[in-house]
Amino acid sequence: MKDLEVKDPIPPTKRIHKLVLTGGPCGGKTTGQAHLATFFESLGWKVFRVPETATVLMSGGISFGDLNEEQILDFQEHLVSTMMALEDTYFSMAEKCAQNVLIIADRGTMDASAFISRDAWEKILTKLGLEDIEISDNRYNHIVHMQSAAIGAEKFYTTEDHAARFEGIELARERDNRAMEAWRDHPYVDIIDNRSDFDSKINRLIDLVVKRTGINVGDRFSANSRKVKFVVSGICPDSDFPVKFTDFQVVHHYLHSAQKGFQTRLRKRVRNGRATFTFTVRKPELQGQTVEVKQPISQRDYSNLLAHRDDNHLPIFKTRRSFLYENQQYQLDIYRAPCHSRCKNLILLETFTTSNDDELVDSLPPFLKVKKNVTGDPAFSMYNLSIRSDWEDSAEQFCHRLSSDDEEEEENVYDVRQAHERLVHVSEENTVFDVRRNEKQASESSDSGSSL
């Protein structure tokens, strides 16, 4: 008989990664979801977000604190079955997608066990014909526990950003521990605590998920990674762009904020005719941290919130181009009309890095004309770029930085005229590559002279 030909195994043509975000209240799950979705969508993945089933049910009038023991058991039983039905819908849709898919579940089935005794949980499993391992290990690829701010970041704990959140700080700690205990037997559990600031916490979340999915994005989410921003002078036609990229059409609207020092904005992000919507609140600086809370919203909520747009700010239209170069993720923000004249032809390049400035310049994509590092320069802040009037006519609106200290803010009134000059004349400067090359040549000349 003819021997069968043995071939190397064929890797799967797509990935479906099923992630559960769990943890105590005010742990950053909502903001983490938004950042995860944005990042993976920029890589060409399809992202599905399973809503928190308990919040959906409780928003209809159920108050968990008012339930008696019998009602609690009945609620948890229906919660599990409803949650699995919701998840199964997204799982089925993922199977039919041609592209890679990330499914983010806001809490998973085992979270329901955190609120009842083990005996009660066993009764629910028996009634539904389920087993722990079936609805835990075999159902999800990865569990990430986002620790509540009530543990280690108490000054940031709040119940204001979540309509269904009512827990005091002690109850929040207890529920955080119970949620952690519920998932202890899953083989892939990661816990993100509050040892770092909030931005670093979100970066650690994305870094963990990226590593679990086997994606290489360089040091984008390393602990000491920092965000850097450069001005770029023009780009080549799309057909000549030398690396694979994904373009999104983005529009931002700033909204009126009832709280002094807060910035609120809406984002509509479109790819292939399909839109996602995000609501962002940027809070004043507290203990050296500026916290941005991002929340995915529906198209209906987006339309309703647009009625509160701040007409002192123009909408910002831009194409956001995401691409990888040498295992490093970059984003180009290409500002589009209609816009203020200050934004005409403006292109900004952003990335995250652990490299020093010289190393960073040497590693930037050489096919871009990178003009200047403008990291931290308020002249290139989207908030300031969107101001409707000229900066000199609206100096009080120009934001140097967010601060919770009014006196300190007054001491740092920014010279808007200088900011305008930097913005206008940046295109006349040499590229960072030219500057770096001149510095190297000067250094080499100095070294050769000293050796004579």
Lowest mean pLDDT among 32-46, 83-97, 322-336: 322-336
Phi, psi of 366 (to 5 degrees): -70, -10
State pLDDT tens for residues 20-69. 999 988 888 889 999 999 999 988 899 999 999 988 888 888 887 788 88
Radius of gyration of the chain (CA): 25
Q: Which of 146-150, 242-246, 287-291, 402-406 has the lowest mean pLDDT?
A: 402-406
What percentage of the chain exceeds 90 in pLDDT? 39
First to last CA, the chain: 80
Mean pLDDT (whole number) for 326-353 = 89
Residue 367, both tokens = 């096919």
pLDDT-derived band at 383, boundaries 50, 70, 90:
very high
pLDDT given for residue 79 in this prediction: 93
Within 8 A by CB and 6+ apart from 196, the residues are: 204, 223
Q: Is the pLDDT of residue 406 over 90?
A: no
Confidence band (pLDDT; 50, 70, 90) for 265?
very high
Dist. CA 192–CA 155, nearest whole Å: 18
Query: What does the mean pLDDT of the chain come to?
Result: 83
State yes or no: pLDDT of 225 exceeds 60: yes
Work out the average pLDDT over 129-147.
88
Instruction: Tell me: pLDDT of 332 over 80.
Output: yes
pTM: 0.63
pLDDT band at 413 (very low <50, low <70, confident <90, very high): very low
Banded model confidence at residue 2, pLDDT cuts 50, 70, 90: very low
Give the SS3 label for residue 248. Answer: strand
Question: Tens of pLDDT along 279-302?
Answer: 888 877 665 556 677 777 889 999
